[in-house]
A and B are shown apart, each in its own frame.
Chain A
């Protein structure tokens, strides 16, 4: 029996958190985010990431600006808004707390 179906929704929920973390570290464009997640449990694709970023922008957690690039068309660079920074801090805090709960329970 595989536990994968139980893990998929957890990953899905955490992806948003991880994207906020990556965007929070420095201003990035989508291939940077994909590269950062590639090879981890959270490896994802543009088809997933662009809709997620649009949702975060609608929630006023991230914003973007166009930047010219040397190789090819201009790129969208994303960064956190103040509300995004506040949410990331809250999520970080919450993550630490649930981690502690998970490791404490059952011992």
Chain B
């Protein structure tokens, strides 16, 4: 059994997507949301982009089918292009950033080792090996240290053309962000 289509409401316009196209659309919008993380007009821009996607797809879908597939969505997204935040200039090259952050793309757990490696300008494997050795000799202290860093360090903005985010780092980030927003609600 498989699900054939999903009805998606894009800025007020209802469209049918098949599963692969739906997944692709979700990934695109998620990326856009992350790029615009610090943009005060994020909600409005995302609405505009949804509108553009709907507009483009409607023009491409054959009238007798009314189902958006990757064949329509890919060229539509190609034409719309990745979202660029005008507030932030070109992202600085990774090695030049001197901010200690965790980097979800390509991470094993939450990206703390990658963040440290970028901060120090050393190879991430070296940091991971040291972390692993410390984990083995510290008798659990390292786990607490890692968890603290995971909870405290900001998440780096996604790099264009970066590695994908694997499942565990994505979950870690989700968890930490949910926790932070809960804490800030409690605080206010």
Contacts and interface: CB of A to CB of B under 8 A. Distances in A.
Contacts of B39: 51, 54
Interface string B79-96: 111111111001000000
A76 to B, nearest CB: 7
Interface in B1-36: 12-13, 32, 36
Interface residues of A, number: 19
B80 to A, nearest CB: 4
A57 to B, nearest CB: 8
Interface in A19-49: 30, 44-48
B135 interface: no
A73 B49 contact: no
B96 to A, nearest CB: 15
Nearest to A8: B90
A51 B84 contact: yes
Please classify the interface of chain A as helix (H, G, I), strand (E, B), loop, or mixed, using the class held by over half of its residues: helix
A11 interface: no
Contacts of A50: 45, 48-49, 52, 83
Nearest to B46: A50
B86 A52 contact: yes
Contact of B44 (A47, A54, A73): A54
B58 interface: yes
B84 A73 contact: no
Given A45-B81, A51-B85, A54-B45, 7 more contacts: A9-B90, A47-B32, A47-B83, A47-B84, A52-B86, A54-B41, A55-B86
